[in-house]
Chain A
Amino acid sequence: MFRIFTSHKSPKNDWEAIEPILRTEKVLREKGEITPARRAGVIYRVNGANAFIDNLPNEIDSILYDGAGSTKTSYQLKDDSVGMKWIVLEDGNFQDLVSSVYTVGNSISSNGGKNNLIAAVFEFYFSGEINGKTKKLGLRTYCIYRYDRRAFYPFVPTGDKEGDRDRASEAVLANDMRKSGLNIETALTEWMGLWGIPF
């Protein structure tokens, strides 16, 4: 009733922010804008201040495969050129993929590594049209989730150099993603890119 000043609720936790991507993926896939996503990555940094984070590669098996919420998601550990660590997750079932991304992020966060978490990245292949003319079939597109802002934004790199990105496509995608219920970062200046994603 008193929603005059806020148009939407901001998510209270990571799950509340991440879960709507299930609907977004379905809506955009059915619209023919994206092809089904199978891969995602969680980026974190190691600074030697947290034993759990330092030892994370040995913990992932138990994080992913032990307990009631265990999935068949496969994973790989990768380092990138900027010195960050990536947990690359792959699963043919998007729901399981999302759940695994959340689980990994949540374990890092609840073990004192909240500040080590940088982002979760979902990979899509763009198959839509931009402004009704340029068909960008199969363009690699990412949906970045920033843990510090609890919000998503699309990222369409056009090259490996910092700054190479297709801003117009990102704006179109963000609009559709927002309409499907995803919490899109409202400050465009916060849509930082990730060049050289190692998957």
Chain B
Amino acid sequence: MSSTSKSFKRDPKLLSRMYLTMIMLGVLYAVFTLFLLRLGIPITFVGIIVGAMAIFQYYMSDKLVLKSSGAKEVSEKQEPKLHEIIKTLADRYNMPMPKVAVIDSAVPNAFATGRNPDNALVAVTTGIQKRLSTRELSAVIGHELAHVANRDIRVLAMGNFFVMLTSFLMTMFFWNMLFGGMGRRREGGGVMMIAYLVTMVVYFVGQMLVLSLTRYREYGADHTGSEISGDPGALADALGKISGTIAQIPDQDLRKMQTANAFLIISASLKNSGSANLFSTHPPVEERIKKLRELEHRMKYGAR
């Protein structure tokens, strides 16, 4: 198999783009903070509240995810094959065995969470277990563990903090514009309006940057996961299977869907239109598959 060393050959282009995005995010929010302070808007208090929320989310991510996704932790006895796959991969990453969970859902999906390798959790849906071979499932979990190994949750938490902060401020300024407040009733209407508009722009630009950063982390995890498994083709196959055209053919029964639709305004089939929304923070699958195939070629025949 492949090397178990942690010194992976990083993709230099990807790394520079990732750092550039992070710098742009930093500059954006630094300028924004200075701007708000200049306007005399006390943002420290809001910053502390949102910061506390973000820290809580960061430290509780595994528990929160378990709660919100309906994932159930499973023992080695309940899921021996899944445990074995994850144990093998965790050993290769030199990380302790993460918690293992299963979500009872036909939608093929998997994710990992946890602020560091000591607090990691890997969850897979029953749908993905059914649709993928062991080799492919192992590649998908390898990709997910790469997020943990690369400390992506930390990067994401930082990004989320800023997006949360701006969205919080936007709401605050909006209500202030309508009803005045913050100790200087009516006086600061114009200032609030400017602050609101600027926050709105920062919110959208910030979100775009965070999303592109997330996409870079995806490529990074594809890369790391492939180095660990030594089999980039397996992840490419898995991606093709769970996100390709055929994967859109549903698991649901027509009769149940029709019965449910009798009580719904929006058709269930419209709501469940494929799994595209799962990948909205992800780069296009075709692009990921292409890069994985290139990596597979390089691994097999060496760099040209």
Interface of A toward B, CB cutoff 8 Å: 43, 45, 80, 82, 84, 118-119, 144, 146, 148, 162-163, 165, 167-168, 170-171, 187-195
How many angstroms from the CA of A167 to the CA of B240 in the assembled complex? 13
Please give the distance in Å from A195's CB to the nearest CB on chain B. Answer: 6
How many angstroms from the CA of A84 to the CA of B257 in the assembled complex? 13
Interface 9-residue window, one of B4-12, B60-68, B167-175, B243-251 = B243-251
Q: Cβ of A191 and Cβ of B250 under 8 Å apart?
A: yes
Is residue B38 contacting chain A, with contact meaning CB distance below 8 A?
no
Known A-B contacts A163-B127, A167-B246; the reply to A194 vs B253 at CB < 8 A is: yes
Q: List 19 A-B contacts (CB under 8 A).
A: A45-B255, A82-B253, A82-B256, A118-B255, A144-B254, A146-B254, A162-B252, A163-B130, A163-B251, A165-B251, A167-B249, A188-B250, A189-B269, A189-B273, A191-B250, A192-B250, A192-B254, A192-B257, A193-B250
Is residue B94 contacting chain A, with contact meaning CB distance below 8 A?
no
Chain A residues with CB under 8 Å of B250's CB are: 188-193
Q: Cβ of A119 and Cβ of B254 under 8 Å apart?
A: yes
Q: Cβ of B253 and Cβ of A195 under 8 Å apart?
A: yes
Q: Cβ of A193 and Cβ of B254 under 8 Å apart?
A: yes
Interface of B toward A, CB cutoff 8 Å: 106, 127, 130, 245-259, 269, 272-274
Chain A residues with CB under 8 Å of B253's CB are: 82, 162, 192-195
How many angstroms from the CA of A43 to the CA of B254 in the assembled complex? 11
Q: Chain B: which residue is nearest A195 at the CB level?
A: B253
Q: Cβ of A162 and Cβ of B245 under 8 Å apart?
A: no
Chain A residues with CB under 8 Å of B130's CB are: 163
Please give the distance in Å from A87's CB to the nearest CB on chain B. Answer: 15
Q: Chain A: which residue is nearest B273 at the CB level?
A: A189
How many angstroms from the CA of A79 to the CA of B256 in the assembled complex? 15
Closest 6 CB pairs of A and B: A163-B251, A192-B254, A188-B248, A167-B246, A82-B255, A167-B249
Q: Chain A: which residue is nearest B275 at the CB level?
A: A189
How many angstroms from the CA of A119 to the CA of B245 in the assembled complex? 24
Chain A residues with CB under 8 Å of B127's CB are: 163
How many angstroms from the CA of A112 to the CA of B148 in the assembled complex? 58
Known A-B contacts A162-B106, A163-B106, A163-B130; the reply to A189 vs B248 at CB < 8 A is: yes
How many angstroms from the CA of A146 to the CA of B267 in the assembled complex? 15
Chain B residues with CB under 8 Å of A188's CB are: 245-246, 248-250, 274
